[in-house]
């Protein structure tokens, strides 16, 4: 079963999110063959367009993994709707029915706390004001 990984990002009017998406896609490609990113809002591609790309590249199932810390309204309601998942937990793309699962958000992880600590230390080492 060929699995397509859909990296789900919130998106923003600020362009930096696109760079975040591209870089995390590249990092995930070290682990998985088929990876695409899609945005909940503001940026392109949409979650639906990214899902279609994955299926066209041969994905037989989709696992959406959100770059979000917690499962807010977007998670429960918007992500399945924007991907276009039907009541059977599938998308129908050009006649192909592909199962979609959604992975848990990042949640609490000590590695993230380590990164935050490093960001604080960077300020202490080279202070700058707002």
From 4, 5, 8, 10, the catalytic residue: 10
Residue 72, annotated ligand binder? Answer: yes
3-class SS of residue 97: strand
Q: Any contact of residue 119 with a copy of itself (CB under 8 A)?
A: yes
Specify whether 10 is catalytic: yes
Helices (H) and strands (E) in the chain, counts: 5, 5
Structure tokens at 9: 């990002």
Distance CA 106, CA 71 (A): 9
Residue 13: count other Cβ atoms within 10 Å of its Cβ. Answer: 8
Q: Any contact of residue 100 with a copy of itself (CB under 8 A)?
A: yes
Which residues are near a copy of itself by CB under 8 A? 3, 5, 7, 9, 12-14, 16-17, 19-20, 23-24, 27-28, 30-32, 63, 65, 67, 69-73, 76, 80, 85, 88-89, 99-117, 119-120, 122-124, 127-130
Residues that are catalytic: 10
């Amino acid at each position: 079963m060929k699995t397509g990984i859909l990296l789900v990002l919130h998106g923003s009017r600020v362009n930096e999110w696109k760079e975040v998406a591209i870089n995390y896609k590249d990092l995930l490609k070290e682990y998985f063959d088929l990876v695409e990113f899609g945005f909940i809002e503001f940026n392109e591609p949409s979650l639906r367009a990214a899902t279609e790309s994955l299926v066209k590249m041969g994905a037989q199932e989709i696992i959406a993994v959100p770059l979000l810390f917690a499962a807010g309204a977007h998670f429960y309601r918007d992500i399945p709707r924007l991907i276009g998942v039907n009541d059977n937990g599938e998308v129908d793309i050009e006649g192909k029915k592909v199962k979609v699962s959604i992975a848990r958000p990042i949640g609490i992880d000590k590695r993230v706390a380590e990164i935050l600590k490093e960001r604080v230390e960077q300020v202490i080492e080279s202070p700058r004001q707002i």
